[in-house]
C-alpha cells in the first residue's frame, strides 16, 4: 500500500534531538518506496540488510542513524564524495541533497540548494511559488529553518491539495500542516518553535533516466 501524508495527518517523530533532517529523509523515502514504508511501519517484508527493530519507532530510529551516516560522512549514497559534517550539528544541506537523489525521491530527480535567508519579501514570494511548481508526489523538498542567527531545524515540504499550496511535515511533532506563502515570507512559520526560513533543498524540475537498480536497499549502510 502506498504511504501518503497530507495536511491533518501525523507521521513519525524524530528519534533524537539531532535527527530532524534524517527523519525528513526517512519519511521522504517511505513516500516513494512502498516496501520500505511497510517495513518501517510493520516490520514486514524485511529487505536484505535492513537494520533490526522490534517496533516502528525502533526501526525508524535505526534507519535515521543509517541516513545520518551517509549525509554526514565523507562518502554519501551512491559512492559520491561528500563534505563531512559533525553529527552534533545535524544534517548538512549538501548531504541531504545527495540522500534525496539516492532513493529518497522519485527515481532520477535532481536537486539543488537555494539560500532563502536574506531574501526580501518579493524574492521569497518567487522562491515559494517556484517550490509549488517543482515539489510534487515523489519529489519533495527540505526547508531549513531557525531564528535570525542560525538554522536550527529541518522540515519536509510536500505537495498540497490545492492551487498554489504546499504541505509541510515537521519531524519534531510528526504533524503535517499546510505551508502558506505568507508565513514563509513574513517569517511566521512556527514549526517546532522556529520561524525564519534559511535554505531550501528542492527539485530542479529536471529528471535523469536511471535504471531501477539505482534504488538502494536499506542495508547499503550498516546500522
The average pLDDT across 210-217 equals 50
Single pTM value for the model: 0.90
Among candidates 173, 177, 182, 183, which has minimal Cα distance to 158? 177
Give the model's confidence band at 213: pLDDT under 50 very low, under 70 low, under 90 confident, else very high. very low
Measure the CA–CA gap between 135 and 160, rounded to whole angstroms.
9
What's the pLDDT at 148? 94
The predicted structure's pLDDT at residue 210? 59
What local confidence, expressed as pLDDT, does residue 218 receive? Answer: 59
CB 63 within 8 A of CB 39: no
74 has pLDDT over 90: no
Cβ proximity of 1 and 34 under 8 Å? yes
Question: What's the mean pLDDT when you consider all of the chain?
Answer: 89
pLDDT digits (tens, 9 = 90+) for 130-181: 999 999 989 999 999 999 999 999 999 999 887 778 999 999 999 999 999 9
**Residue 168: its H or E element:** strand 166-169
pLDDT digits (tens, 9 = 90+) for 87-134: 777 899 999 999 999 999 999 999 999 999 999 999 999 999 999 999
Beta carbons within 10 angstroms of residue 74's beta carbon: 9
What does the buried/exposed string (b/e) look like for 114-150 if buried means 16 or more CB atoms within 10 Å of the residue's CB? bebeeeeeeebeebbeebbebbbebbbbbbbbbeeee
d(CA 102, CA 216): 7
Mean local confidence (pLDDT), 71-91: 79
Amino acid at each position: 500500500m502506498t504511504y501518503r501524508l497530507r495536511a491533518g495527518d501525523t507521521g513519525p517523530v524524530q528519534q533524537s534531538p539531532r535527527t530532524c533532517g534524517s527523519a525528513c529523509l526517512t519519511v521522504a523515502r517511505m513516500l516513494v518506496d512502498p516496501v520500505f514504508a511497510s517495513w518501517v511501519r510493520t516490520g514486514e517484508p524485511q529487505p536484505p540488510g535492513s537494520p533490526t527493530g522490534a517496533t516502528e519507532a525502533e526501526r525508524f530510529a535505526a534507519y535515521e542513524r543509517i541516513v545520518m551516516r551517509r549525509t554526514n560522512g565523507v562518502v554519501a549514497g551512491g559512492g559520491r564524495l561528500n563534505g563531512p559534517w559533525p553529527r552534533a550539528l545535524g544534517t548538512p544541506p549538501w548531504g541531504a541533497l545527495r540522500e534525496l537523489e539516492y532513493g529518497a525521491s522519485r527515481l532520477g530527480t535532481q536537486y539543488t540548494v537555494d539560500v532563502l535567508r536574506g531574501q526580501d519579501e518579493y524574492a521569497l514570494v518567487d522562491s515559494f511559488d517556484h517550490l509549488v511548481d517543482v515539489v510534487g508526489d515523489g519529489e519533495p523538498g527540505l526547508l531549513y529553518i531557525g531564528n535570525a542567527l542560525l538554522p536550527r531545524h529541518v522540515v519536509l515540504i510536500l505537495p498540497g491539495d490545492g492551487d498554489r499550496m504546499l504541505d509541510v511535515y515537521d519531524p519534531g511533532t510528526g504533524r503535517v500542516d499546510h505551508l502558506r506563502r505568507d508565513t514563509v515570507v513574513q517569517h511566521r512559520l512556527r514549526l517546532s518553535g522556529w520561524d525564519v526560513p534559511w535554505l531550501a533543498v528542492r527539485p530542479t524540475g529536471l529528471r535523469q533516466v536511471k535504471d531501477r537498480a539505482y534504488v538502494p536497499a536499506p542495508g547499503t549502510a550498516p546500522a
